[in-house]
Amino acid sequence: MATETRILTAPLDGTSVRLYAEVTGMLARFNSAIGPKGDVANDLPDPSPDTAETEAALRLALVAMTEAQRRIERQEARIRELESLSVTDELTGLLNRRGFDMHLIKALAQARRGERRGVVLMIDLDRFKPINDTYGHAAGDGFLQAVAGVLQADVRESDIVARLGGDEFAVLMTDLDQASCASRARALSDRLNSHIVDWHGTLLPISASVGFVAYGSSDSPTDILAQADKLMYLQKNARRDTGSGPN
C-alpha cells in the first residue's frame, strides 16, 4: 500500500511553515509505521507495527494540522482586514482616495466594454475651517461624518462614495444615460446644500461646491477627475462671488 504525502501551498507565515514541516515529518513516520516491510504477500502492511508510536504520531499530526489550519484562517482574516483598511477612510467609513480610484478604473473599463456611462462628482466643503476653529476638531469630525451620511443616503447601493481627504469628497454613479447624469448630480448637490447639521444644539448648514462630469467609453480616470475638479473650483469661485460660498 503506497501512501502519498502532499504539502499544501499557501501564503503562510514562518510559524505555519514550521508546523507544516512538522506535520510532514509526522506523516512520514506514520506511513513508515503502517507501510509494508520487505516482500509481503498481496502488498499488505506488516501485521506488527509499533501501534503505540503510530497512534501517537497520528494524534500529533492531527493536532498540528488543526493548529496550522487555524493559523491560516487567522492570517487570511487579518489580510482581509488590512486590505479593507487600505481602501477605507477611518473617520467616515467611506472609501478613501485609493479605494475610489480603484472603482473608477473598473467603471471606465466596463464603459469601454459595453458603452456604459456614468458621472463623477467632486465635492469640496465651503467654510469648513471656521467650524474647526470655532467649535473644535470634534465638531469638525462630526460635521464630516454628517456629510458622509447625507451622501450615502442619497445614492444607490451601486454608487460609490469616498472621502478623498480633508473636506473633499467624491461620488461615482454608474450605469446612467447621459440625461440622467446631470439630473442625478444636481439633485445630490441640492440635497447636500440644503442639509443642516445639529452639533449639540448648534445648527451648522452644509455648504459645498460640486463639479461633475459624465464619463463614457473614451475617457481616462485622470482626465475625468481633472475635469470634475476644475468645474468644482469654478463653482466655488462663482459661489464666493455671490456670497453663498467660502469666505
Q: How far apart are CA 176 and CA 117, in angstroms?
A: 6
Contact at 8 Å (CB) between 199 and 144? Answer: no
Q: What's the CA gap between 214 and 185, in Å, rounded?
A: 9
Separation CA 209–CA 147 (nearest Å): 13
Residues 242-246: contacts with CB within 8 Å, 24+ apart?
244/207, 245/126, 245/207, 245/209, 246/126, 246/127, 246/207, 246/209
Q: Which of 89, 167, 219, 229 is catalytic?
A: 167
Helices (H) and strands (E) in the chain, counts: 7, 6
* Residue bearing cell 493536532: 63
Whether 167 is catalytic is yes
Q: How far apart are CA 241 and CA 247, in angstroms?
A: 10
Q: What sign does the dihedral 92-97-102-103 (CA atoms) show?
A: positive
How far is 203 from 85, CA to CA, in rounded Å? 32
Backbone angles phi, psi at 80, to 5 degrees: -65, -40
Round to the nearest angstrom and report the end-to-end CA distance of the chain.
85
**Residues tagged active-site:** 167
